[in-house]
Amino acid sequence: MQAKEFLKVPVNSVTNDRYPFSPFPIGWFWVEFSENVKRGQLYSKQWLGETIVYWRDTNDQVCVADATCPHLGANLSPKRGGRLKNGLLVCPFHGFSYDATGACVRTHTGPPTQRLSLNTYRTRETGGVIYAWWHPNRMEPDWMIPNFDDGEWSRLIYSSQEIQTHPQETAENGVDLTHLPHVHSYSDVQSLGPLEIEGPVLKNEFTLTRRLGPTDKLCITLKVSAVVKMWGLGVSTIEPSFEEAGLYVRQFALCTPIDGTKVNFVMALQMKDIGRPNVLAPGLGLIPKRVLNAWFLRIFFGVYQKDISQDFEIWENKKYLTYPRLSPDESSIVRYRRYCQQFYLDSFEDL
């Protein structure tokens, strides 16, 4: 099967040399982890081609906005003089003050005489992560990421890496099962059925065998069931489970464009309390559960980082092929690329 029979690509005026589509897909994208946004502190970064500011007010409401004062265009980032006072963002130029909704509530002469507000982004804070919605025409979100505030899961452990790639490329790994044995040394990789796609949500289920340990003799072999879920191209979870041991892990792959060429690829992981640790190795059940869970959390995060890092150089150096030469067992890639088309604004052309 060849993709030429199936695929469409967006015709987009905002492209780079590597991809035939916009570097900024529509959707929800990671801004920061909740614990890193403290009350009374102003933050700034490059996010989807814009310089943004973000802060948490005295009521714990988070604002994410363009770092440009709508009065006369001053840069509101803390490095350029923007500051917080009583939960309000104060412009360094004329002292105009903005609340967490983005509305100007005070000027240097008193209350504003006309309606004035920042260009803000709709936010969603859940599971210890702050996300914001991006649309090239500033349209309101027409779909939502789920609630990840589930008390059964541990705290998140995380890291990030800047990579020269695109969110569509990184998310494609979640459906590309044929690369798993070759790149990551998984064995017995088996799909559990076709992709499930419902609007902006994609689900893929498969099984694999994974060996963990320093040597072939000093290792444990896990027969793992894995569920990949995507909400657009910026938010993916991978949930491997080893039910025999009552072992459940949730990995986050959060890919956020920085500018037209680089992304911030965030890896985060959490797990539930291990239900039957002696299945993994005799005697593990004697270790206090708090210690055991913290130990495995670090181990699994290290494994996750190592596995994902094996893809970094490939992502940075591969070329996107509009007409890939796919085998019949790679049809999920075609369906995935069709799924991706909804996250670009411009029209599509048949190939």
Tens digit of each residue's pLDDT (9 = 90 or more) over 23-60: 999 999 999 999 999 999 999 999 999 999 999 999 99
The CA-atom distances, in angstroms, between 266 and each of 159, 236, 330 are 6, 11, 27
pLDDT for the residue numbered 217: 61
User: 222-252 burial by CB neighbour count: b if 16+ within 10 A, else e?
Assistant: bebebebbbbbbbbbbbebbbeebebbbbbb
pLDDT for the residue numbered 220: 74
Tokens of 304: 């996750």
pTM of the model: 0.91
Among the ranges 29-33, 212-216, 241-245, 293-297, which has the highest mean pLDDT value? 29-33
For residue 277, what is the domain's CATH number?
A: 3.90.380.10
Q: Could you tell me the residue range of the domain that residue 53 belongs to?
A: 35-122
107 inside domain: yes
Beta carbons of 39 and 57 less than 8 angstroms apart: yes
* End residue of a domain, out of 63, 98, 122: 122
Residue 345 vs residue 237, higher pLDDT: 237
Share of the chain above pLDDT 70, in %: 92
How would residue 10 be classed by pLDDT, with cut points 50, 70 and 90?
very low
pLDDT for the residue numbered 77: 98
For residue 102, what is the domain's CATH number?
A: 2.102.10.10
Are 90 and 186 contained in the same domain?
no
For the chain, the domain total comes to: 2
* Least confident range of 192-201, 291-300, 341-350: 341-350
60 inside domain: yes
pLDDT for the residue numbered 216: 60
28 inside domain: no
333 inside domain: yes
Are 95 and 164 contained in the same domain?
no
Are 107 and 163 contained in the same domain?
no
pLDDT for the residue numbered 151: 77
One-letter amino acid identity for 108?
A: H
* End residue of a domain, out of 122, 145, 178: 122
Is the pLDDT at 12 greater than 80? The verdict is no
Are 176 and 318 contained in the same domain?
yes
Enumerate residues 6+ apart whose C-beta is below 8 A from 346.
10, 11, 12, 13, 22
Are 210 and 308 contained in the same domain?
yes
pLDDT in tens, 193-225: 999 999 999 999 999 998 776 566 666 778 899
50 inside domain: yes
Enumerate residues 6+ apart whose C-beta is below 8 A from 268.
33, 129, 156, 157, 158, 251, 252, 254
Are 321 and 192 contained in the same domain?
yes
17 inside domain: no
Is the pLDDT at 331 greater than 50? The verdict is yes
Are 241 and 100 contained in the same domain?
no
Residue 215 vs residue 1, higher pLDDT: 215
Tell me what the pLDDT averaged over the chain comes to: 91
Is the pLDDT at 341 greater than 90? The verdict is yes
Are 106 and 179 contained in the same domain?
no
Residue 175 vs residue 296, higher pLDDT: 175
What average pLDDT does this structure show over 145-157? Answer: 92
7 inside domain: no
Residue 111 vs residue 93, higher pLDDT: 93
Are 104 and 198 contained in the same domain?
no
Are 115 and 176 contained in the same domain?
no
How would residue 110 be classed by pLDDT, with cut points 50, 70 and 90?
confident
* End residue of a domain, out of 100, 122, 144: 122
What average pLDDT does this structure show over 317-335? Answer: 94
pLDDT for the residue numbered 349: 42
Share of the chain above pLDDT 90, in %: 79
Are 79 and 190 contained in the same domain?
no
Residue 62's CB is within 10 A of a number of other CB atoms, namely 18
pLDDT for the residue numbered 63: 97
Is the pLDDT at 75 greater than 80? The verdict is yes
109 inside domain: yes
Enumerate residues 6+ apart whose C-beta is below 8 A from 278.
284, 285
Residue with tokens 């459906």: 175
The CA-atom distances, in angstroms, between 304 and each of 93, 116, 158 are 46, 46, 10
Are 234 and 329 contained in the same domain?
yes
